[in-house]
Copies of this chain bind each other. A is one copy, B any other.
Amino acid sequence: MKQIEHSSLSKPIYNSLKTMILEKELKPGEKLVQEKLAAQLGVSRTPLMQALQMLENELLVESVPRRGMFVRNFSVDEMIDIYYCRESIECMAVRLVTLRADQKDIKALHQLFQPFLDIEGAIDAEKYQKVDEKFHNMLVKLSQNPVLKKMSKMSQILTLVHSLGLLRPPEETLMEHLQIIEAMENGNFQQAELRMKNHIKLSMELLQKIRKEKTK
């Protein structure tokens, strides 16, 4: 018999705060005053702090001792750092999926992009971004490696990067995604890894160009 898990308050608080941050209801750099937030959410500071600590671990929030918690504000340099991490994690994910997942699951990955295949005209960027995110999450999940999954949570901040409109045009990345999936279907994990590596590299180059422009 499976135990029912009586979850604590911190989890829903965490979820609320997370969406508030991702949707910019809580703005980058903003100070998170505990009592204020707790009152807003109708809870006490104890579970609120737990939720904030979780967010700190995912790098969405920063704690400065005795000063408070702040919504994190990413520099281009930090975003590049995160991209390097993402590269290492997602390449490994792709490899594990190729080796461990069955064809049905890989087909499901393919299905995600189906809505964008046989259409004429431009792709709805917002819809595409959601699917892109789903793709990366599903990949990590299908790798069947819980530790890898936990690590990948840290690079969830990239959702923020993307919502800044800093991503490449869907027309460009769609094909890359499909080619990665194709290699996985063929069981060619080396090719799949290489393609993923390249896919991320191309996105990272965009950031590096931005950095160069800033230092000019």
- A interface residues, how many (CB within 8 angstroms): 32
* Residues in chain B near residue A78, CB distance under 8 A: 146-147
Are B154 and A85 closer than 8 Å at their CB atoms?
no
A84 and B92 within 8 A (CB): yes
Q: Does A59 contact B (CB under 8 A)?
A: yes
A38 close to chain B: CB less than 8 A: no
Q: A8-B65, A46-B46, A50-B53 are in contact. Are A147 and B59 (CB under 8 A)?
A: yes
Distance in angstroms between the alpha carbons of A180 and B49 in the assembled complex: 43
A93 to chain B, nearest CB (A): 9
Contact A84 B65 (CB under 8 A): no
Minimal beta-carbon separation of A10 from chain B (angstroms)? 9
- Dominant secondary structure of chain A at its interface with chain B: helix
A145 surroundings in chain B (CB, below 8 A)? 81, 84-85
Q: Can you list the 10 inter-chain pairs with the closest CB atoms, starting with the nearest?
A: A88-B92, A88-B88, A81-B145, A81-B147, A85-B147, A6-B66, A57-B57, A151-B151, A82-B147, A53-B53
Could you list which residues of chain A lie within 8 angstroms of chain B, going by C-beta atoms? 5-8, 46, 49-50, 53-54, 57, 59, 65-66, 78, 81-82, 84-85, 87-89, 91-92, 96, 145-148, 150-151, 154-155
Contact A148 B92 (CB under 8 A): no
Q: What residue of chain B has the Cβ atom nearest to residue A152's Cβ?
A: B151
Q: Which residues of B contact A7 (CB under 8 A)?
A: 65
Residue from the list B57, B85, B92, B154 in contact with A87, Cβ < 8 A: B92
Would you mind naming 17 contact pairs between A and B with Cβ atoms under 8 Å apart? A6-B65, A46-B46, A49-B50, A53-B53, A57-B57, A59-B147, A59-B150, A78-B146, A81-B145, A81-B148, A84-B92, A85-B92, A85-B148, A87-B92, A88-B89, A147-B155, A151-B151
